[in-house]
Structure 1
């Protein structure tokens, strides 16, 4: 599923350019993706649309509020992912309502101990769906794996 999400992100730079689910399914099938993966990805994208639509009902937390993660969320995300989300929030890149969408979409994968690279894909898809582009340094952080970084 994550390969499909990255394909959608890279192929359709803006969510308006992405075809409706039926046509997208045919395009993904023509690109060589398996039907089960396509179905999972389309379901996940539908859930993303619903989460984004519902995010407008969330209140804005106060500046001194702290996000506590439920056991189920910690099981899915793990310590590294929670730390990464905190890093993005403290950098001002990830607003609290977007964090909630990311956490909800991570839980929707059904994966325990979601790898950090897959969390980054979820983050990219949330930004993509909202047609927002994080600044260049954060975008680089989301795309380039730590092992591939060149230290100057």
Structure 2
């Protein structure tokens, strides 16, 4: 699915919006993507549309420099996912509100371990609409990796 999101980022990120779902599904199919990946990406876009970051923006003004994860929170993350969250926090890549929104989204996930790929998808969801230079760089890094290659 990350490949589909990378394609969407390249094709539509600077556009005012995406085509309707049926047109988008056809474009993705014609671009060579598999049905399951298209379905997952369209579901992700549906989640993105429902995401409400407004209540979390109030946290950005607070002086909460660091947030330790509770053991109950940590047990949901794979080791790689926990390292990714710690790196985002240490580098202050996300605002406080964005970080809390990401963690709240994690708790809405079905039971079981949260992988690094899923955390990346949630982070993408949270920052997709910001359209500032730092967010664009993070999106590119999440989708294409440090060497510029699409994630597979």
Instruction: Note whether the superposition's TM-score is higher than 0.5.
Output: yes
Give how far 1:47 is off: 0.7
For residues 1-58 of structure 1, give each alpha carbon's deviation from its aligned partner in whole angstroms, at most 9, with x where no partner exists: 222112212222336243232221111111122223212211111112212xx22023
> Partners in 2 of 1:87 and 1:33 — Cα distance?
31
* Structure 2 CA distance for partners of 1:36 and 1:138, relative to 1, 3 Å: closer
For residues 59-106 of structure 1, give each alpha carbon's deviation from its aligned partner in whole angstroms, at most 9, with x where no partner exists: 4163246253574x5455323322322322332221122224434556
For residues 89-145 of structure 1, give each alpha carbon's deviation from its aligned partner in whole angstroms, at most 9, with x where no partner exists: 332221122224434556677573414x56445434533333233178756754435
| 1:112 and 2:113 matched | yes
Counting matched residue pairs gives 143
Q: Determine if contact 1:15/1:128 at 8 Å carries over to the other structure.
A: no
Unpaired runs of 5+ in structure 1?
A: none
Unpaired runs of 5+ in structure 2?
A: none
Q: Which has the higher helix share?
A: 1
* Runs of at least 4 residues off by over 6 Å: none
State the TM-score, normalized to the length of structure 1: 0.66
Which residue number in structure 2 is paired with residue 60 of structure 1?
59
Partner-residue secondary structure (3-state), 1:66: coil
| 1:7 and 2:7 matched | yes
Q: Determine if contact 1:77/1:114 at 8 Å carries over to the other structure.
A: yes
State the TM-score, normalized to the length of structure 2: 0.66
